[in-house]
Chains A and B, each alone.
Chain A
Amino acid sequence: MKELKLFCLKINHVIHNFYKHFFLFLLFALCFNFSLAQSDSTRITLVVENESLKNVIDSLETKTNATFFYLEEWFGDELISIAFENETLPVVLEELLSKTELNFYILDGDKVILTKNNIIYDELPNNFFIKRDSSSILTTAGTDQRQLRPIFYSDRLVANDNRVQKIQVGKASKEVKTSLAKISGVAINASNGLPIPDLVVQIKNQNIRTTTDETGYYELELPYGINRMNTRALGIEDATFELYVYNSGTVDLALNEGLEQLDEVVLEADAFRNVEEATTGSAQIDSEESKNIPLVLGERDILQVARNLPGISSAGEGAAGFNVRGGKTDQNLILLDDATIYNPSHFFGIFQALNPYTTKGVDIYKGNVPAKFGGRLSSVFDIQSKEGNTEKFSGEASIGPVTSNIALEVPMKKEESSLLLGGRGTYSDWILKSLDEPDLANSSANFYDVIAKYDHKISDKHSISAMGYYSKDAFSITSDSLYKYSNRLFSLKWKHAYSEKNRGDLILSNSNYQFNIDYDGEANTDFLLGYKVNETELKYNLRYLYNSKHTFDYGIASKLYVVEPGSIEPSGSDSSIEARAVDQEKGLESAIYISDAYKVNDKLLIDAGFRLSLFTALGASTQNIYQEGEPRNDGSRTGSEEYGEYEFIKTYIGPEARFSTRYLFTPTFSIKGSVNSGYQYIHTLSNNTTVSPIDTWKLSDLNIKPQQGYQYALGLYKNSEDNMYEYSLEGYYKQFKNAIDFKTGAQLLLNENIETEVLQGDGKAYGVELLLRKNTGKLNGWLGYTYSRSFLKFDSEYADERINNGEYFSSNYDKPHDLSLVTNYKFTKRYSVSANFVYQTGRPVTYPIGTYRFNNADYVYYSNRNEFRIPDYYRLDLGLNIEGNHKIKKFAHSFWTISVYNVLGRNNPYSVFFVTENGEVKAYQSSIFSIPVPSITYNFKF
C-alpha cells in the first residue's frame, strides 16, 4: 500500500463543515479499496506542448472520464510538453508529476486525487477531526473533556483506519535512508490562525516528544517510515496523525479547539484522560465496543456491562437498578439524550430497554458529578444515541433467541440532516403461546422499545437534534393480574456557538413513566390501577473558554414534575370498585450552576463547581399536619392544610459543592481528590428488597424531606507502556441524610397518608476500587476489584420507626467483595474469544429468627434486617465472536456471537426466603440462571 497517500481537497468554502468532513470520511473509507482501483487499465494517448499543468489535467479528465481533485494554486506557471502513447493513467501521471511536488492517488479508477505533501494542512477545514458519526449532542458545552471510553480497543489496522489523519512527509525517493528524518512545522489554531504554544507533539511507541514554543513551532527527529504522532494541548482537540516519512520535511498543523474528538483519538487521549482529568470516579462504555462481551441470551447490554465496573452493582442477577458506591437504586440519574429515563430495563433487569444499535454509549459519573447534573445523589448515567448517517442509507439488525433489533439511519437532506430509527421487540409471547403447557396459558411477557432521532446541522454555529423514545413492557406473574409499564421520552436540543469562546446548549426534555395493574379476579373487585410520573425540563448549559487557564461551565435548569400517585377504577361492568385517585403531586426543581476548570500550572488542575438547587412542592394539594415530636400516624394527625393550584407548599434550598482536583506527579501518574454533595427531591417508594417496576416515585413535600448525600474520593492513576496499561486505585467515603425507607409491609400504593409509613434515616458507604486495564493488543480487557460496605440507619424514639434498634445495618446491596474480569482475545481480525468472570460476596437477606404457630399455620418471624448473607456469587461466561469478512461490495457486514452464560453452571442463589404453604413453613432458595445458558445471535449491518 505504498501508494496510500494523504490528500486534502479544496472544497468550496461555502460548503459547510459537515459536508466537508463527511466527504473526507468517504474518501478515507475508500482508501483500502485502493489497490483494486489501481488495476484499471484504460490506455491513454496524449500529446501536449507548452500547456499549463491545469490544461493537461483538463484534457486527461476528458480522455479518461476521470475526475481530478486538486488545488489550482498548487500548479506553478511552468508549461509542459509531453507525449504518451497507449499508456496507463498511473504511468502518465507519474511522468507528468515527476518534476512537481505533487503526488497522485487514484480512487475507484475514475477519481484522481492530487496531493502536495507538505502544505496540505494549511487548508484543514474547521471541525476537520469530527468523526463522521459523532453525535452533535455530545458537543454540549462542558463535555469537551469527556470522551468515549470503549470497552475494547479494536485493534484496527492502519490500512482500514479511516479516521486518523494520514500525512506524507517529504517526497518519496529511492535513496537509502541512513539517519533520522527531521520534521518541523508550526501549529496554529484552525479557527483563528493563532499559534498554539505548549502543544505536546509526541511519537507513539518511541520516546520522542517535544512541545511547541511561543510561535507554535516544533521540531522532531524521527525514523523513516510510518510514525504515529499525537498532539495534545489544553483547549485544543487532541489529534493523531499517521506520518509516512519519506524524507525530512515540514508538517504544519492547523488544529481545532477542543470540541469533539475522533474515536481513535479518544482511545489515545482516553488513556491520558484517566490520569489527567480532574473528575474522580467516571467511566465510559461504548455500545459498539461492548459487543464482544458475552451476556445472557446474547443481548448486547451496556447497562449489564456497567455492572462489571468497580463500584456499580445490582442486588442480584436479573435485578433491575444500580447500586452505585453503596447508594440506593433511586439515586441514579439515568439520561437518554438528556431526558430522564425512569426505568431503562425490560422484564425486571434482565434486558436493557435501549436499542444497542442506536445507542452510542454511556458516560457514568459515580464520583464527582459535574455541576451541570443534579437531582440524584449517587451517579449519573448519561446515555447518548448515535447521529444518523447523512450520506447514505444504512442499518444494523440482529436476530437473537429472545429479541430482534433493528436500527436504520436515513439521510434526510444530504450532509445536513438525518433520521435515526430503532426498533426492538421480543417474541416471548409467541414462544409462550406455542408451548403446550397449561400452566402458561395465561402467562404473558412482552416488551418492545422504539426510538427516533433527528439531527440537523443548520450551520457551523447551529445544530438541532430531536429525540423521541418509547418502551413498553407487559407481563403477568399471577394469572389474575397484568402489569404494564412504559417510558416515554422526548428531547429537543439546540446547540449553538455565539463566538469562539462561548457556546451553549438549550435543551427541552420531557419524560413520562407510568404503570398499570389490570386485576381481573373472580369477585366484584376487578380494577385498573394506574401510576404516572411526568417531568418536563428546560435547561441551558453554557461554556465560556476564558483563556488557556480557565474554562467556565455555567447554566440554569428548571424541571416541573407532575406525579399521579395512584388511581383506581372499576374494570368490567360487575365490578363494585369505586373510582378514586390520590391527589396529584407537583414540584418544581430548579438549579443554577457554575464551575471553573482552572489549570493552575502544568501539574495542578482544579475543577471547582457550585450548584444551587431549589425545590418547591406545588399545589393543588392537601398536606397532613402531624403533632411535633410524635410518631406520624393517624392518631398524631392534627389536621391538614389545603393548597391551591401552583401554590407554594414548601421550598427546599440545596447548596451543592462539586470540587475536584488533580495533581500530576509525572505525565502518566496522578493523584485526584474530590468533594461532592447533592440533594435529591424525588424518591422511590418500595417495600421490596429489590427494584420492582411498580415502585412509585414520590416528591418531597411538607412531610418528606429531600435526601442529601456527600462523597469524598481520593485516587491514584497511572498509565504505562504508552497507555497500553491503565491502573487506578480510588477510595471513597459517602454519607446520606434523610435516606428513605418504610415500615415493613407498608401499603404504599393508593395510600393518601404515605408519610405515616415513611422512615427517613442516615446512610454511609465506603470502599476502595482497583481497576487494571489493558487497552490494546491481542489480549485486552480489565480486572476490577472493589471492597465496599454500605449501611443504613433508621433511629427514632418510637419502636415502629426504628429498624434494627436504630443501629447501622447492611443495606440490601452491601456486597463487600466484588471482582470482575473482562477479557477479549483476538486471534485474527475475524475471530475473537471473550471471557467474563464475576465474583461477589452474597448479598444480605433478612433471615427469620424463629417459627411460631398462629391461625392454624406455622409462620416464621423476623427481627433484625439483613443479618444473614446468601452464599457468594460467581459466574464465568465465554463467548466467541466471528466477524463476517470485510469485502466492501458485500451487501451486509455480519457479526456472529456465540456465547455461553454461566459456563460453570453455578447455581447462584438470588434469594433465600421462607413461605408458609399449607400451614407448614418451607425454606426456599431461588436462582435465576442456574445452568449454562447458550445463545447465538446474528448481527448484520448494511
Chain B
Amino acid sequence: MNEKRRCECSLIFLFIPCVFLVGCIEELELERLDTNDFDDVLVVEAVLTNEMKKQRVLLSRATNRLDIITDTIYDPATPINYNKGVGVDTEENASVMILDELGNKFDFEEVVSGTYMSLQPFQAELGKNYHLEITTKDGEQYISNEMSIAGISQITDLYAERIINDLGEEGMSIYINSEEVQGDSQFYRYTYEESYKIIAPNWAPMDFKLSNYEPCALPVPTYDLEIIPREEEERVCYNTVDSNTIIQNSTVELSENKVLRFPIRFINRNDYILTYRYSILAKQFVQSAPAYSYYNRLEKFSQTGSLFSQIQPGLLNGNIVNKNDLGDNVLGYFEVASVTERRLFFNYEDFFPNEPLPPYVFNCDNLLSAPESHVSFCFSGLSMNSCPQSVIERVNMDLISYVSDNDIGLGACPGPHIFTPNICGDCTTLGSNVVPEFWIEE
C-alpha cells in the first residue's frame, strides 16, 4: 500500500494555528480493493425519459480495481490516452427490454459493447408504469420495479452570475429556476454537459512529420523529419464534458414546487474552460421519491461527511432484482423521469471585461529545444549524452508540436527546432476540432 501524504488542516485544528495541530486526511493509493468478498455484480444504468428518442440502457460489471478510469492529470512526458480507460467491464450480449403497463414491449439492441439502444424511438408518458427486464448471456434474469414519471417541471431560467462563493473563491455560478407543469414534481436531479472553446497558445501553422524512423539503426538512427503545414484544424477546438456528480434538489419542504436560483455549477474564474466561450446544457430530471432517495444515498455514501462523524455506509438496494435469486445484488437503478433542458452561452469577457484571461490549463510559457536525433537504441557502449530527449523520439510518441526553427540557439542542448508540448500547440489533445452542432458564436 502506497501512501501519498496530503495532510490538511481540518476545522477542529483551526483552534490553534495549524503548526501546532494537524488533523490529517491522507490518500491511500490503492490499486485494488483489499477484499475477499468481491463479486462482479451486474450494474444497470437506465433513465427512461419523456423525450421521444432511442432510449439507452448501460450494462456493466463491478470490479475490484479502484480506478476504473485512470487519473485525469496531464503529464507532458506521457502520451495522451496512454493507459487510459482501463475501462469498464461491460456486459455484452444481454437481452434488454422495457415494458409498459399495457404490455407494450420496447426491445433494445447492443450498439457498442455494454450500450443498448432501443430499436425504435419511444418516450415515457406521464401516468404510465414501466419496468425493465434484462436477461444476461449467462441466462440470469433481472427485473425492475414498476416505475413512472412523478411530474413534469419546466426550466424557466438558466443564468450565470459572477460571484464570490462561501469559500472565498471568485468565479461563475450557474443557476436554474423551474416551475412545475404537471403531476407532482418534488424531487429533482440535475446533469449538465458543458462545452468550451480551446485555443492552443503555442500553435503554429507548421508541424513535424516523422517517417522511416529506425531508432535502433547503427551507427545512428535513421529517419526523415519534415516540417509541413498542419493538415487539420489544431488551433481552435471544442470540448464537451458530461457532469459526473449527483446534483439533487427537493421542494418537499417548500410551499410550492418551484425551484429558484438553485446553483448547479460553480466554475472558478481561473479555470481555463471559461477563457473564451463557454456553454452549458442543463438538464432537469423530475425524480420519483424512491429514485431521489437512491441517488441521495449513493451521494451520501460517497462523501466524507464530517471528520468525526461519518455516515454509516452499507448495501444500497436499487430497484432491480434477480428474478430467481433475491440474494444476488444488482447495482444501479432504472429510473423513469421527465426531463427538460436548456442551454446557456457566455464569454469570459461578458463578466470579466478587460481582466486577464484565466491561465491556460498547462503552463506553456517555456518553449523548448533539444537535439534532433539521439544515440542509437542499439548502441552497446557507454553514452555520455546528458541532453534532453531528442525531437524524433518525442515526435514519435506524439508529445510535441513544432513552433519554429531555432534561430536563437534556445536551450541547453540547442537543436534545429523550437517546439512545445503537444497540449500547448495542438488543441486536439484537449478537445475536438469539429465545431459542435449547437455551437453559436455571438
A interface, CB within 8 angstroms of B: 297, 318-320, 347-350, 401-402, 426, 428, 431-432, 435, 437-443, 445, 475-477, 479-480, 521-525, 527, 568, 574, 576-578, 580, 687-692, 742, 744-745, 747, 750, 799-800, 803, 812, 846-865, 867-868, 907, 910-916, 918-931, 933-934
Contacts and interface: CB of A to CB of B under 8 A. Distances in A.
B312 A855 contact: no
A525 B331 contact: no
14 contacts: A432-B14, A523-B263, A576-B258, A745-B296, A750-B253, A803-B314, A849-B37, A855-B45, A855-B244, A863-B315, A920-B72, A923-B29, A931-B21, A934-B20
A712 B120 CA distance: 69
A640 to B, nearest CB: 19
Contacts of B175: 522-523
Nearest to A914: B302
Contacts of A849: 33, 35, 37-39, 64
A926 B307 contact: yes
Contacts of A852: 41, 43, 60-63, 68, 331-332
Nearest to A477: B306
A505 to B, nearest CB: 38
Contacts of B246: 855, 857
Given A688-B311, A848-B33, 19 more contacts: A297-B15, A426-B15, A440-B11, A576-B260, A580-B253, A690-B310, A692-B308, A745-B311, A846-B314, A851-B65, A851-B68, A859-B301, A860-B33, A861-B331, A862-B314, A867-B37, A910-B308, A924-B27, A928-B308
Contact of A865 (B7, B28, B314): B314
Given A428-B15, A441-B168, A854-B332, A923 B27 contact: yes
B173 interface: yes
B30 interface: yes
Given A432-B14, A855-B246, A920-B67, A522 B263 contact: yes
Contacts of B303: 915
Given A576-B256, A744-B314, A852-B60, A431 B17 contact: yes
A920 B309 CA distance: 23
Interface string B249-268: 10101111011111100000
Given A576-B260, A799-B317, A919-B244, A745 B16 contact: no
B349 interface: no
Contacts, number: 287
A445 B254 contact: no
A525 B254 contact: yes
B22 interface: yes
B293 interface: yes
Task: Indicate the size class of the contact surface on chain B.
Answer: 35 or more
Given A689-B310, A744-B314, A865-B314, A847 B33 contact: yes
Contact of B25 (A527, A747, A924): A924
Interface string B397-434: 00000000000000000000000000000000000000
Contact of B297 (A428, A745, A926, A927): A745
B28 A923 contact: yes
A858 B310 contact: no
B11 A445 contact: yes
Contact of B14 (A445, A577, A750, A799): A445
B166 interface: yes
Interface string B1-37: 0000001000110111100111111111110011101
Contacts of B309: 319, 348, 688-692
A688 B326 contact: no
Q: What are the 4 A-B residue pairs with the smallest beta carbon separation, nearest first? A: A744-B314, A745-B297, A479-B166, A919-B244
Contacts of A854: 43, 45, 298, 331-332
Given A576-B255, A745-B301, A925 B25 contact: yes
Contacts of B242: 856
Contacts of B162: none
B312 A688 contact: yes
Contact of B316 (A402, A690, A862): A862
A480 B300 CA distance: 17
Contacts of A441: 168
Given A848-B33, A852-B331, A924-B27, A687 B311 contact: yes
Interface string B282-300: 0000000000010111101
